[in-house]
C-alpha cells in the first residue's frame, strides 16, 4: 500500500485520547497507531480497549507472557506483520525468555515448552486459520491439559488478535518504530519484514 487506508488521530487531540494513550504506554511502551485509527469512531476504540483488558487479564496458569506468545503465533499464521511485531515485543516485555522466543516455532519438540503449552499453540494456530482447522483431536488435547475457563482465555486471545490482524492488514497501519525494531531484532532472521506497514 502507498499509504494507510485511514490515518490515526493525534493522541493529544482530547483528554479521552490521552487517557487511552497512557494505557498503551504502559503495556507496549508506545501508543499504537491501530488504536488511534479506531478513535475515528470512539466507541469502537473504547470497546476494543475493554476487550483487550478482559482478554489479557492474568487469571492463573495462562500467564501474560504465554498469552503474548500465542498472540504472536496466531498473527504469524494469519500473516499480519504489524501484529507479529507487537505481540513478540509484548511477549518479551511481559517476561518471555529469549530462549523461548528464539525457538517458538520449534515448540513441538523444543525442551523449553511443556505439553500443555504445545496443546495451546497447536490450538491457536489451527483456530487462526481460514477455514478453521480445529479438530476433535486438537480440542481433546486442550481439554486434557486445561480447564474450560483457561480454554476460554486462550480462544479469547486468538479472537482478539483475529480482529487486530484483519484491522491492521486491511488498514495498512503504519508500524511504530519501537515495534519495528523488535520485529527486526527478534524475527528478522526468520524472514519477518514490515511489509505493507512501512512507509
Structure confidence by residue, pLDDT tens digits, 156-166 = 999 999 999 99
Q: What is the pLDDT of residue 22?
A: 80
Q: Cell 525494531 identifies what position? A: 181
Tell me, what's the pLDDT at 14?
80
pLDDT tens digits for range 38-56 = 999 989 999 999 999 999 9
pTM of this prediction?
0.94
Average pLDDT over residues 174-191: 94
Question: Above 80 in pLDDT, residue 27?
Answer: no
Residue 23, pLDDT > 80, answer: no
Given this model, what pLDDT does residue 20 score?
79
Give the Å distances, CA to CA, from 5 to 9, 34, 38, 42.
13, 11, 12, 18
Q: What is the mean pLDDT of residues 171-188?
A: 95
Amino acid at each position: 500500500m502507498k499509504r494507510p487506508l485511514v490515518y490515526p488521530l493525534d493522541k493529544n487531540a482530547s483528554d479521552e485520547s490521552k487517557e487511552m494513550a497512557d494505557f498503551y504506554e504502559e503495556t507496549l511502551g508506545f501508543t499504537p497507531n491501530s488504536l488511534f485509527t479506531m478513535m475515528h469512531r470512539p466507541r469502537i476504540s473504547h470497546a476494543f480497549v475493554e476487550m483487550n483488558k478482559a482478554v489479557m487479564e492474568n487469571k492463573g496458569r495462562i500467564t501474560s507472557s504465554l498469552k503474548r506468545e500465542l498472540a504472536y503465533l496466531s498473527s504469524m499464521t494469519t500473516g499480519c506483520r504489524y501484529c507479529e511485531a507487537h505481540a513478540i515485543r509484548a511477549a518479551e516485555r511481559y517476561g518471555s525468555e529469549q530462549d523461548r522466543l528464539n525457538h517458538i516455532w520449534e515448540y513441538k519438540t523444543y525442551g523449553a515448552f511443556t505439553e500443555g503449552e504445545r496443546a495451546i499453540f497447536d490450538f491457536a494456530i489451527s483456530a487462526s486459520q481460514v477455514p478453521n482447522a480445529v479438530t476433535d483431536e486438537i480440542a481433546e488435547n486442550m481439554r486434557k491439559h486445561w480447564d474450560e475457563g483457561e480454554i476460554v482465555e486462550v480462544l479469547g486471545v486468538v479472537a482478539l488478535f483475529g480482529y487486530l490482524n484483519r484491522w491492521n492488514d486491511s488498514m495498512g497501519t503504519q508500524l511504530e518504530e519501537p515495534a519495528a525494531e523488535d520485529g527486526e531484532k527478534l524475527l528478522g532472521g526468520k524472514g519477518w519484514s514490515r511489509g505493507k506497514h512501512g512507509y
